Amino acid sequence: MNIKENIESNRLNFWEKLYLPEIAKGMASTFKAMFEPKFTRSYPEEKMTPSPSFRGRPVLVLEEDGERCVACGLCSRVCPALAIEVQAAETDRDKERYPKLFEINMLRCIFCAYCEEVCPEEAIVMSKDYELVFTSQEDAILPKEKLLVPIEELQDRLEWLRQYK
């Protein structure tokens, strides 16, 4: 189709130039949709229950004797957004090393789950937490204390990982 034919085919006809039939068609479509099943949710009154495959904010697994993390730094290395900072220190526990400092900058995190994938200890996992609110840039840098989540609350994600990883 050349340019002239293209212009001709895009010309409005008489009824289209009036606009009223098109408005009526739009209104009819809206009216019909009012009686169709809803796919929206009245958040925050109606919360979503994510499935185990959901990628919420990354968290650290907390066991009875402390964090699982051995501060190997792999998650920090692999993070494409450079969102993770880990500083290791020695400990007298069986694991020998622990993260003296572990921070995730949630303004940088893109929820890619690479950190979870690379972790040799299953110590960092994607949680179901999707409600993230910060009032300043500093607030968005989550320290270890805010990242640690008891292992019981992460069981379904850990089981899902064992199945698919």
Binding site for ligand SF4 (CB under 6 A): 58, 69-75, 79, 81, 83-84, 86, 104, 109-115, 118-119, 121, 123-124
In angstroms, give the least distance from the CB of 109 to ligand SF4.
3
d(CA 146, CA 90): 22
- Name which of 123 and 154 has its Cβ closer to ligand SF4: 123
Q: Are 120 and 31 in contact (CB under 8 A)?
A: no
| Radius of gyration of the chain, Cα coordinates, nearest whole angstrom | 26
- Name which of 72 and 156 has its Cβ closer to ligand SF4: 72
In angstroms, give the least distance from the CB of 47 to ligand SF4.
22
In angstroms, give the least distance from the CB of 1 to ligand SF4.
46
> CB burial class (10 A; 0-12, 13-18, 19+) of residue 81?
middle
In angstroms, give the least distance from the CB of 102 to ligand SF4.
7
- Segment (H or E) for 32: helix 20-33
- Name which of 122 and 156 has its Cβ closer to ligand SF4: 122
- Name which of 21 and 80 has its Cβ closer to ligand SF4: 80
Q: Can you point out the beta strands (E) in 3-123?
A: 58-63, 66-67, 84-90, 97-105
